[in-house]
C-alpha cells in the first residue's frame, strides 16, 4: 500500500474546561481499517476525543489530524467536508423521534444537498438492509426496540459512506443478543469496507470481540495502548479495569 499515513492522529492534545484538565497530552494514531477500542472510566474524556476528531470541539493545545489533514484550526465550512468522511453513532443513537426510520436514515443525505429521491431511497434501503432492518421504513423510533434504534443509528451514520466510524458506547443498555448484533456489524463494516473504527465502550466482552487493539484513557493520558493480549497481561491499569477493581482516585 502506498499510503501508510494514519487515518486519525492526535498529537499532544490537551483539553481543559476552566480549571478542569480533561486531557493532558494525548498521543495516538489509527491506521486505515484498524478497529480500536477506547476504554476508560466515566468522565475520563472519551466522548470528547470523538468530538475532537469530528471537529465539534477544538483542543486547548495540540493537533488533530484526520486523513492526513490538520483539522485543528479549520473553519466550519472546511470542517463540514471533513465530517463527510466520518460517521458517528452517538450515545443513545440520537434519532429524531418525530421522523420515520426512512427519514432518519435519509437525514444526512438531504442535509448534504442530495435531492434525487430515487437515489436517496436506494441508499436508505441498502443501508437498512446492511444493518438487518428491511421493511421498517415508516415506523417511528418509539415503535422500535433499543437494539433496533441503535441499528437505525448505524444505518444513518453509514448513509454517507464514511471512511471513519466513531462509536460512542454502542452497546450500553442492550441485551446480549442485540449487543452481539451491533458488535458483528462494527466488525463487518471494518472488514468489508475498510472503515477505520474507534469504539468507546465500558463493555469488556464487546471490546474483546470487536478489536485487536485497546487504548486506556486515564487521568488525561493514554495509559495503555497495544494488542489486547499484551495490554491485558502487561498493564496493571487494564487488568484493574477489566476485573472491576479499578480505583479511580488512586
Ligand atoms: N462542554 C463542557 N463544559 C465543561 N465540562 C465538560 C464539557 N464537556 C465535557 N465536560 C467534562 O469533561 C469530562 C470528560 O467528559 P466526557 O468526554 O464526556 O467523558 P466520558 O469519558 O465519560 O465520555 C467530564 O468531567 C465532563 O463533565
Ligand atoms: Mg462519554
Q: Is the dihedral of CA 104, 105, 111, 115 positive or negative?
A: negative
Choice from 17, 57, 219 to test ligand 1 binding pocket (greatest atom count within 8 A of CB)? 17
Cα of 177 to ligand 2 centre, how many Å? Answer: 23
Ligand nearest to the CA of residue 48, numbered in listed order: 1
Using the predicted structure, report yes or no on whether residue 1 has a pLDDT greater than 70.
no
Using the predicted structure, report yes or no on whether residue 76 has a pLDDT greater than 90.
yes
Span 175-184, pLDDT tens digits: 899 899 999 9
Burial class (CB within 10 angstroms; exposed 0-12, middle 13-18, buried 19+) of 42: exposed
CA–CA dist 250, 71 (Å, integer): 35
Ligand nearest to the CA of residue 46, numbered in listed order: 1
Using the predicted structure, report yes or no on whether residue 93 has a pLDDT greater than 80.
no
Span 196-211, pLDDT tens digits: 999 999 888 899 999 9
**Greatest CA span in the chain, whole angstroms?**
57
CA–CA dist 3, 58 (Å, integer): 27
Q: Ligand 1 in contact with 108 (CB < 6 A)? A: no
Ligand nearest to the CA of residue 18, numbered in listed order: 1
Cα of 22 to ligand 1 centre, how many Å? Answer: 7
Using the predicted structure, report yes or no on whether residue 2 has a pLDDT greater than 60.
no
Q: Ligand 1 in contact with 19 (CB < 6 A)? A: no
Using the predicted structure, report yes or no on whether residue 106 has a pLDDT greater than 50.
yes
Using the predicted structure, report yes or no on whether residue 250 has a pLDDT greater than 70.
no
Using the predicted structure, report yes or no on whether residue 152 has a pLDDT greater than 60.
yes
Q: Ligand 1 in contact with 210 (CB < 6 A)? A: no
% pLDDT > 90, the chain: 77
Q: Looking at ligand 1, which residue's alpha carbon is closest to its atom 1?
A: 17
List CB contacts of 91: < 8 A, sequence separation 6 or more.
Answer: 47, 168, 169, 172
Domain covering 32-55+82-214+221-243: architecture: 3-Layer(aba) Sandwich (3.40)
Segment 7-34 shows an average pLDDT of 97
Using the predicted structure, report yes or no on whether residue 102 has a pLDDT greater than 90.
yes
Q: Looking at ligand 1, which residue's alpha carbon is closest to its atom 3?
A: 17
Name the band, by pLDDT with cuts 50, 70 and 90, for residue 3.
low
Helices (H), the chain: 46-54, 76-83, 101-111, 117-130, 146-158, 176-193, 204-210, 228-234, 236-243
What rounded mean pLDDT belongs to the chain?
A: 92
pLDDT of residue 164: 97
Grid cell 458506547 in the structure block, residue: 169
pLDDT of residue 23: 98
Cα of 139 to ligand 1 centre, how many Å? Answer: 34
What residues does each domain of the chain span?
Answer: 32-55+82-214+221-243
Amino acid at each position: 500500500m502506498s499510503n501508510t499515513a494514519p487515518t486519525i492522529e492526535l498529537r499532544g492534545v490537551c483539553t481543559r474546561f476552566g480549571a478542569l484538565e480533561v486531557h493532558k497530552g494525548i498521543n495516538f494514531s489509527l491506521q486505515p481499517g484498524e478497529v480500536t477500542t477506547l476504554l476508560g472510566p466515566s468522565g475520563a474524556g472519551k466522548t470528547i476525543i470523538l468530538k475532537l476528531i469530528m471537529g465539534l470541539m477544538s483542543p486547548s493545545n495540540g493537533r488533530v489530524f484526520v486523513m492526513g489533514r490538520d483539522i485543528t484550526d479549520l473553519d466550519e465550512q472546511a470542517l463540514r467536508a471533513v465530517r463527510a468522511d466520518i460517521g458517528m453513532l452517538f450515545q443513545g443513537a440520537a434519532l429524531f423521534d418525530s421522523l420515520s426510520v426512512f427519514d432518519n436514515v435519509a437525514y444526512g443525505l438531504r442535509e448534504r444537498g442530495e435531492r434525487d429521491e430515487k437515489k436517496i431511497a436506494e441508499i436508505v434501503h441498502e443501508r437498512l438492509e446492511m444493518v438487518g432492518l428491511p421493511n421498517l421504513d415508516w415506523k417511528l423510533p418509539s415503535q422500535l426496540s433499543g437494539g433496533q434504534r441503535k441499528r437505525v443509528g448505524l444505518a444513518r451514520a453509514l448513509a454517507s459512506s464514511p471512511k471513519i466510524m466513531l462509536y460512542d458506547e454502542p452497546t450500553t443498555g442492550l441485551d446480549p443478543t442485540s449487543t452481539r448484533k451491533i458488535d458483528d456489524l462494527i466488525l463487518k463494516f471494518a472488514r468489508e469496507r475498510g472503515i477505520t473504527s474507534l469504539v468507546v465502550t465500558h463493555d469488556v466482552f464487546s471490546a474483546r470481540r470487536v478489536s485487536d487493539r485497546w487504548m486506556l484513557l486515564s487521568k488525561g493520558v493514554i495509559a495503555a495502548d497495544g494488542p489486547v493480549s499484551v495490554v491485558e497481561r502487561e498493564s496493571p491499569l487494564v487488568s484493574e479495569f477489566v476485573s472491576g477493581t479499578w480505583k479511580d482516585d488512586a
